């Protein structure tokens, strides 16, 4: 890839025990650019039989890594953060070429991804314990927190860097090792991060990155009793499967799964702010994020005004190759993603909705950002996650009605609402059954706050002071004195 300042960041190999390794079979997987179908690179297609050695290396490395003083682990993580920031242009370009998002968004994700490493480099030094007054004079009670041990992560294609560091940073900060299996569609970002981890002095085997069959590699990782924790980001369907696979070994799990975010606009909202928030929440990454507004509810008195304002903004979005200046919406990741958006539009139209903006294929994997009006709870788009650039507008009359509709889903990841009434802000933020709620904002993701869902959107939290708990075990020590 000639445009890289540092071409050695394009790693077409797996990171195993500190070395860059090909599959024993020599088989590879092509990584293609969703903008034009060109091959960006090729990564190894490891066989399942090659994974036990990776797990063994992880176990050896983890013991030495955990034995380091926290301050030394923190310093290496901080160096990894610094190297990511220094290489943001190359990391962003690699991401745009394999995932499609506009370059500015890709660079923004690199900064977001790096922020987790910066944050947990600091948290590494603050893993405190407790002393507890004993019930007997000849006893002393202490509580310490220790790393879980060998961990694994399986990550999705939509945030090829942030979903790696949001798991690896707390794991390594806690003294764990981690084996990462990135999505086949976007492994190059993860492998570039692995190269920078090596350069940062993170010891061989502490962070390993393997590519190949998700189900076969996943099965080896979930079956292993050495792997004590699995962190997964992806669909609820695969999350359920992995939970079942982890049950026989009683693995700790973190699950960041599907969403179906309601975005509610009350009639007392600042409409321009609400439109800006809807644009940011809905069309980021071409709508391919789990916290995207999936259902937009607008109180009847402002419905037409909101729809008109939103349509004007959406009509101005530039769809194109993510490397082209001014592109707002890149290609979608694969053909089935466009099929799902079209299916949701077709179903809504058959049930009485109107397509007032966009909704056409633009060739290849490009899709025209769309708006539906007259949407009702009877339509697929009310129950299923579109994961694409489609804004379905529902009208509502009362607060009670819209909260009930917003909560009528198996998901509970993110929700958003716009109101300038303080009492309503308190009532609605407490009534919404979601792990994360945005009030008068459509962007809630950062490294300092606990990211995660309730109901069938997942288990656990990532980021924040809570995120490191996912990689620690509590040990209670009772001493007779």
Ligand X SMILES: O=C(O)[C@H](O)CS(=O)(=O)O
Q: Active-site residue numbers?
A: 256
Count of beta carbons in the 10 Å neighbourhood of residue 233: 26
Binding partner selected for residue 445 from ligand NDP, ligand X, none, CB under the kind-specific 5 to 8 Å limit: ligand X
Output the residue with the shortest Cβ distance to ligand NDP. Answer: 234
Token pair in block for residue 167: 């798991």
CB of 129 within 8 A of CB of 71?
no
User: What phi, psi does 395 have (nearest 5°)?
Assistant: -95, 145
Which residues, including other chains, have CB under 8 Å from residue 422's CB and lie 6 or more apart?
none
Task: For tokens 């958003």, name the residue.
Answer: 416
* Measured distance CA(440)–CA(443) in Å, rounded: 9
Residue nearer to ligand X on the CB measure, 203 or 412: 412
184 touching ligand NDP, by CB under 6 A: yes
Binding partner selected for residue 390 from ligand NDP, ligand X, none, CB under the kind-specific 5 to 8 Å limit: none
Per DSSP, the three-state class of 413 is coil
Binding partner selected for residue 243 from ligand NDP, ligand X, none, CB under the kind-specific 5 to 8 Å limit: none
Q: Which of residues 365-404 bind ligand NDP (CB under 6 A)?
A: 385, 387
Binding partner selected for residue 215 from ligand NDP, ligand X, none, CB under the kind-specific 5 to 8 Å limit: ligand NDP
218 touching ligand NDP, by CB under 6 A: yes
As a dihedral over the C-alpha atoms of residue 149, residue 154, residue 159, residue 162, rounded to 10 degrees, the angle is 0
Q: In this structure, are strands 227-233 and 150-154 parallel, antiparallel, or unpaired?
A: parallel
DSSP at 440: S
As a dihedral over the C-alpha atoms of residue 337, residue 339, residue 343, residue 346, rounded to 10 degrees, the angle is 120
| Min dist. Cβ of residue 306 to ligand NDP (A) | 25
Residue nearer to ligand NDP on the CB measure, 205 or 258: 258
Task: Figure out which of the listed residues 256, 399, 447, 469 binds ligand NDP, where binding follows CB under 6 A.
Answer: 256
| Min dist. Cβ of residue 314 to ligand NDP (A) | 22
| Min dist. Cβ of residue 199 to ligand X (A) | 25
| Min dist. Cβ of residue 341 to ligand NDP (A) | 13
Which parts of this chain interact with ligand X (CB under 6 A)? 158-159, 162-163, 233, 289-291, 445, 451
Binding partner selected for residue 387 from ligand NDP, ligand X, none, CB under the kind-specific 5 to 8 Å limit: ligand NDP
CB of 41 within 8 A of CB of 94?
no
Burial bucket for residue 7 (CB in 10 Å: 0-12, 13-18, 19+): exposed
Counting residues that bind ligand NDP (by CB under 6 A) gives 25
Count of beta carbons in the 10 Å neighbourhood of residue 4: 17
DSSP 250-281: T-EEEEE----EEEEE-TTS-HHHHHHHHHHH
109 touching ligand NDP, by CB under 6 A: no
CA angle 333, 334, 337 (to 5 degrees): 90
Residue nearer to ligand X on the CB measure, 465 or 475: 465
DSSP at 329: B
Residues in a beta bridge with 479: 140
Binding partner selected for residue 258 from ligand NDP, ligand X, none, CB under the kind-specific 5 to 8 Å limit: ligand NDP
Residue nearer to ligand NDP on the CB measure, 18 or 287: 287
Residue nearer to ligand X on the CB measure, 150 or 291: 291
| Min dist. Cβ of residue 215 to ligand NDP (A) | 4
444 touching ligand NDP, by CB under 6 A: no
Residue nearer to ligand NDP on the CB measure, 100 or 218: 218
Phi-psi region of 144 (alpha: psi -120 to 50; beta: other; left: phi over 0): beta
- Which residues in this chain contact ligand NDP in the complex, by CB under 6 A? 154-158, 183-185, 214-215, 218, 233-235, 238, 241, 256-259, 290, 385, 387, 413, 458
């Amino acid at each position: 890839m000639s445009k890289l300042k540092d071409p050695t960041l394009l790693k077409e190999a797996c990171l195993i025990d500190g070395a860059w390794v090909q599959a024993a079979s020599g088989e590879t997987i092509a990584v293609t650019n969703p903008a034009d179908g060109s091959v960006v690179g090729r990564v190894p297609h490891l066989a399942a039989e090659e994974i036990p050695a990776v797990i063994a290396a992880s176990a050896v490395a983890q013991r030495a890594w955990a034995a380091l003083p926290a301050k030394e682990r923190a310093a290496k993580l901080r160096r990894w953060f610094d190297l990511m920031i220094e290489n943001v242009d190359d990391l962003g370009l690699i991401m745009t070429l394999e995932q499609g998002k506009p370059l500015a968004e890709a660079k923004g994700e690199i900064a977001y991804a790096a922020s987790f490493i910066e944050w947990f480099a600091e948290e590494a030094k603050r893993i405190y314990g407790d002393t507890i007054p004993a019930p007997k004079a000849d006893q002393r009670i202490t509580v310490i927190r220790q790393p879980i041990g060998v961990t694994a992560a399986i990550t999705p294609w939509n945030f090829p860097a942030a979903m790696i560091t949001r798991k690896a940073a707390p794991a390594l900060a806690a003294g764990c090792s981690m084996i990462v299996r990135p999505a086949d569609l976007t492994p190059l970002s993860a492998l570039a991060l692995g190269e920078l981890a090596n350069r940062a002095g993170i010891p061989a085997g502490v962070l390993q990155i393997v590519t190949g069959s998700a189900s076969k590699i996943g099965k080896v990782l979930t079956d292993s009793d050495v792997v004590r924790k699995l962190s997964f980001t992806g669909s609820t369907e695969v999350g359920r499967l992995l939970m079942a696979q982890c049950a026989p070994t009683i693995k700790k799990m973190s699950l960041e799964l599907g969403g179906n975010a309601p975005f509610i606009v009350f009639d007392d909202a600042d409409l321009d702010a609400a439109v800006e928030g809807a644009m940011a929440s809905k069309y980021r990454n071409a709508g391919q994020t789990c916290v995207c507004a999936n259902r937009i509810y607008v109180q009847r008195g402002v419905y037409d005004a909101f729809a008109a304002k939103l349509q004007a903004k959406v009509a101005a979005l530039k769809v194109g190759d993510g490397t082209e200046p001014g592109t707002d919406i890149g290609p979608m990741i694969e053909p089935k993603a466009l099929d799902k958006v079209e299916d949701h539009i077709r179903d809504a139209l058959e049930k009485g909705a109107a397509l007032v903006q966009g909704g056409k294929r633009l060739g290849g994997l490009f899709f025209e950002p769309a708006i539906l009006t007259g949407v009702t709870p009877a339509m697929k788009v009310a129950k299923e996650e579109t994961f694409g650039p489609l804004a379905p507008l529902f009208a509502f009359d009362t607060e009670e009605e819209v909260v009930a509709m917003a909560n009528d889903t198996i998901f509970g990841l993110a929700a958003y609402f716009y109101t300038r009434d303080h009492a309503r802000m308190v009532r609605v933020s407490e009534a919404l059954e979601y792990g994360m709620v945005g009030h008068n904002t459509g962007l809630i993701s950062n490294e300092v706050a606990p990211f995660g869902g309730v109901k069938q959107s997942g288990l656990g939290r990532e980021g924040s002071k809570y995120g490191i708990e996912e990689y620690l075990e509590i040990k209670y020590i009772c001493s007779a004195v």
